[in-house]
Chain A
């Protein structure tokens, strides 16, 4: 069986940054496996600008951001296989992939970096009543059809869900001559970034209906319209509030789900809230030598944070291959009181770096509240935040020297007054 030092599953922003960091950390034998016919992942279809403000201090488009990383991969001569789908990852770090030139191949890895990204929540997972006519797309599928394949997706569009991709597509389709009648959002707030609401909806006078959802899809062969209802505090449609919107296309932007089928096959422990692997401060899963980063780990708001996190995963994978294994005592991290989860979920104080960034999301919109950190019930950090919203990731830093006196069993991150 062929052996590689590090195998990276996925050639999107996370996989590319992890590969570059691993190579720069001195690992010569790094291999990227990518199922699409080009590197860059979802960035290829995100032709809008706004990427890279943190990483490059510039507002790049998705393809430009991707090319900065794929150029580095080429310059460093990191090998990659395109049109190659990974069929299985095993607990002993064997990766089985399939492509049309080699057939089915199983290779052994010194370390694996999971960087498969995420997938959109499809109609089937939303329980939308009605027929199954043509014209219903997830926002990302419509984005790919329009921006990469060059198809016109629809003329009169209704968008359910105010996630960023939905907002971006509202502008994109308007610019291409479609009429976007409305964006409906189940929650009382938008899950998208403020600037997207302003520049993608308000710029084009597209209404945003909060606390509304689609309660019926009309049309047997092609979408002919949708019925939209207001929902109550429990997200249940309120009878009598139905309104009909004529449209030929329904786009769904209702959340992203980390794509962890391979991780599950390998037996990696999955966090119920993030839908991604449980990792320690080195971004290693509960299978030694298997690391995770990017949207497969938890859905990020900005690609800049994906790149930064993936670089760390690549560095830690390199260290693992060289024989430095994260081990020793474990501190559990947990979110409570409005903090939905933390990544990592575990810190190993004996092998951790001098400081570890812990990222999380909050459950609601909070104004003038604080983020507090407790070590076994004793508060050690408190920071005021003017605003926190579910659509944006928050972070705290845990320092190793904070454990000099004693190591807590549990670290709790919470929202408080």
Chain B
């Protein structure tokens, strides 16, 4: 059995959660609402994050193009995703929402532009 101490981030109260994992059974205590329980379970079973960064841009008014993953990627893959982002170069013009990297690191999520640069 493994136990994790977390702070819930679903609202400003910030409940101190204890999540215990025993085989397939995940139990959350310390939460005061169902959102806290869902957060606790997800954080220990499949934590994920949106990654935001910038990529090199040529031919536009800016040198860097801000980007993000369109959806969440597994937390363990954040640095792998960053490596791909660092290697990427984009040419202006770019529109907000344009795909910059397709299916980044096999996560099923694209990296998209978060700014329009003419």
Contact = CB atoms under 8 A, between A and B. Distances in A.
B42 interface: no
A386 B15 CA distance: 11
A49 B9 contact: no
A194 B49 contact: no
Task: Please list the 6 inter-chain residue pairs (A to B) with the smallest Cβ-Cβ separation, ordered nearest first.
Answer: A195-B9, A63-B115, A47-B66, A194-B14, A150-B64, A61-B114
Contacts of A146: 54
A41 to B, nearest CB: 14
B7 interface: yes
A386 B13 contact: yes
B82 A61 contact: no
A397 interface: no
A289 to B, nearest CB: 35
Given A64-B114, A67-B116, A194 B54 contact: no
B38 interface: no
A49 B63 CA distance: 20
B12 interface: yes
A376 interface: no
Contacts of A175: 51, 53, 78-79, 82
29 contacts: A38-B61, A47-B66, A47-B68, A47-B114, A48-B52, A60-B114, A61-B66, A61-B68, A63-B96, A63-B115, A64-B114, A67-B96, A148-B62, A149-B64, A150-B54, A150-B63, A150-B64, A175-B53, A176-B82, A193-B12, A194-B9, A194-B12, A195-B9, A198-B6, A199-B9, A199-B49, A202-B7, A203-B49, A386-B13
A350 to B, nearest CB: 36
Contacts of B9: 194-195, 198-199
B104 interface: no
A1 interface: no
B103 interface: no
B94 to A, nearest CB: 11
A203 B66 contact: no
Using C-beta atoms within 8 Å of the partner chain, give the interface range for chain B. 20 to 34
Interface in B60-80: 61-64, 66, 68, 75, 78-79
Nearest to A193: B12
Interface string B75-91: 10011001000000000
Nearest to B81: A175
Nearest to A202: B7
A147 B54 contact: yes
Q: Which of A38, A148, A175 has the most chain B CB atoms closer than 10 A to its own CB?
A: A175
B17 to A, nearest CB: 11
Contacts of B6: 198
Contacts, number: 71
A194 B17 CA distance: 14
Interface string B32-71: 0000000000000000011111101000011110101000
Contacts of A404: none
A389 interface: yes
A268 interface: no
A197 interface: yes
A59 interface: yes
B64 to A, nearest CB: 4
Nearest to B9: A195
A193 B51 CA distance: 19
A202 B6 CA distance: 9
Interface in A148-187: 148-150, 175-176
A61 B52 contact: yes
B115 A64 contact: yes
Contact of A147 (B12, B49, B66): B66
A64 B96 contact: yes
Nearest to A67: B96
Nearest to B56: A150
Contacts of A194: 7, 9, 12, 14
Contacts of A378: none
Given A64-B114, A387-B14, 11 more contacts: A37-B61, A60-B114, A63-B115, A147-B54, A148-B64, A149-B63, A150-B54, A150-B56, A175-B79, A198-B7, A392-B12
B28 to A, nearest CB: 15
Contacts of A67: 96, 115-116
B54 A203 contact: no
A61 B96 CA distance: 11
Contacts of A44: 115
B11 to A, nearest CB: 9
